[in-house]
Structures are given as C-alpha cells and as structure tokens.
Amino acid sequence: WPMLWFCSQALFFLLFCVPSYCTSCPEQCQCTNYSEATAVLCSASNLQEIPRDIPKDTMFLKLDANKITAVPNSTFRHLAHLQEIDLSKNAIEKIDSAAFKGVADGLRLLDLSGNHIQRIPKEALVNLNAMIRLSNNPWHCECTLQEVLWEVKLDPDSVNETTCQTSVQEEYTGKPLLHILDSRFCNMHQKTTDVAMFVTMFSWFTLVISYVVYYVRHNQEDTRKHLEYLKSLPSTRVPKETIS
C-alpha cells in the first residue's frame, strides 16, 4: 500500500502540479532553491549557446566557463527576476543591441569578463542598472566604446584589467579603458565629421557658383553675337527724297 500511495502521488504531481512548482532545469545544469531564490548553475557544462528553458523565477544564472559565442536579442526577456548573470570565460564575440532586454530593472551584476569581445552596441548596456565586468576582453578603443563607458557602471575591482588591445590612437593600445574616458576620441570623430561636411558643402557651393558664372557668360556671349547680327542687317529706312 505505501508504494501504491507513493506512485499515485507522484503521478498526480507530474500530471496536475502547479506550474510554479513544476519548472524544469536545463539539461547539463543544476537548479537550486534557497530562501525562495532560484539559482541555475551551468558552469563548465560545455554549452555552445545560452539555454532556452531557464526557469522563469531564476534570480542567479551561472553560465561561465563554457563555449558560448553570442548573446542574441531578447535572450533573457522571460527572466524578469534575474539579479546576476555570469557569462565570464566564454568565447563571446557578438552581443546584440537588445540582448538584455527585459532584465534592465532588476539586474545587479553582469559579468562579461574573459571573452572575445572587441565591440559592444551602446544600446545593449545603457539601460542596465547593473555593475558590469568587462575585463580581459580584446577591446578596440574608439569613440563608440567611449560612449558606452560614459553610460555604464564598471566594476571597480576589475576596471584596471579592462584594457585596449587595439585603438584608433596608437598611444592608447594596452592602456586601461579608463584612460580613454578623458581622451578626445569622440571630439576627433566630431571634428572629422565637421571637416568632411564643410568640404562637401564647399565643393557643392563651388560647383553651383561655377555653373552660374558659366551660364551668365554663355548668355552674354549669345547676346553679343545676336546684337552684332542685328547691326549687320541692311537698313530698311526709306530716304526722305523718295517720300517727297
């Protein structure tokens, strides 16, 4: 009887359990619950992409030390309770502009350290309130990255390990990203844009003036030739003697 009762209860749970108690754990991951906080642990699980069946009540998500190469748009959109995302020590090269859409308000920590990230869209991070770790990535320092750094909260413990592997200005190669916050990347970009616009406008202005001058001179020449032609015509006036 006890075994029969146990089997019947298990069958009832599988068929009719409340959804909040029936959340499944992604394959190759471990899910734990402590004080109503769900943690999904997928560290070093040989994952090549972020699992799609992460429980909706997840608060802590560990995806470090895998082979993940990208963070697509809206990957975490159904995880409204997320507070920490650890994506460190992967092979991430691409992060889409809406990768963290849906978790902006509650997220407290985002770890992207130890990946292959050279560039990141400004839109991917600017709305996050989280502390962000960007260290040990091959960053390409340029105006766009400077704009990102102005908007985000960098983890102070890892900021000195966040450096420029390459740069639009050679003197910043190998330097911490903080050094480009006071640099003139964006100012130089703006000046370059202004100069290019000025040159373009000046070229068009010169072209228009040249056309007007050509048009006026051409008409003057035609007018002069027409007057000379009229002067060359024989006079049609009748002599006074003939009239009398």
Q: Which of 3-12, 92-101, 212-221 has the lowest mean pLDDT?
A: 3-12
Looking at residue 170, its pLDDT comes to 85
Task: Give the pLDDT of residue 8.
Answer: 39
Instruction: Quote the mean pLDDT of the chain.
Output: 79
C-alpha–C-alpha distance, residues 150 and 141, integer Å: 13
Alpha carbons 124 and 142: distance in angstroms, whole number: 17
Sequence-ordered list of residues with C-beta below 8 angstroms from that of 242, at least 6 positions apart, any chain: none
Out of 38-47, 88-97, 123-132, 179-188, which region has the weakest mean confidence (pLDDT)? 179-188
Q: Specify the higher pLDDT residue, 230 or 154.
A: 154
119-137 pLDDT, tens digit per residue, is 999 999 988 999 999 999 9
Q: Which amino acid is at 222?
A: D
- Tokens (6 digits) for 73: 């748009």
| Stronger pLDDT, 34 or 4, i.e. the higher one | 34
Instruction: Give residue 183's pLDDT.
Output: 65
CB 186 within 8 A of CB 143: yes
Which residue, among 164, 184, 49, has the nearest Cα to 117 in the 3D structure? Answer: 164
CA angle 73, 80, 121 (to 5 degrees): 30
| pLDDT tens digits, 87-99 | 999 999 999 999 9
41 pairs with which residues across the strands?
A: 30, 62
In this prediction, residue 23 carries a pLDDT of 60
Query: Which stretch, 2-6, 9-13, 62-66, 155-159, has highest mean pLDDT?
Result: 62-66
Top-confidence residue, 217 or 85: 85
Question: Could you give the angle at the alpha carbon of 4 between the alpha carbons of 33 and 11, nearest 5°?
Answer: 45
Instruction: Say whether pTM exceeds 0.75.
Output: no
Helix (H) or strand (E) holding 31: strand 30-34
State the pLDDT confidence band at 226, using cuts at 50, 70 and 90: low
Task: Please classify residue 18 by burial: count the beta carbons closer than 10 Å to its beta carbon, then call 0-12 exposed, 13-18 middle and 19+ buried.
Answer: exposed
Least Cα distance to 188 among 174, 163, 169 occurs for 169
pLDDT for the residue 159: 85
Tell me which range, 98-107, 127-136, 169-178, is most confidently predicted by mean pLDDT. 127-136
Q: Which residue has the higher pLDDT, 6 or 165?
A: 165
Helix (H, G, I), strand (E, B) or coil at 190: helix
Look at 37-41, 57-61, 67-71, 188-192 and tell me which has the smallest mean pLDDT: 188-192
| Residue 6, pLDDT above cutoff 50 | no
Q: What is the pLDDT of residue 186?
A: 67
Q: What is the pLDDT of residue 46?
A: 97
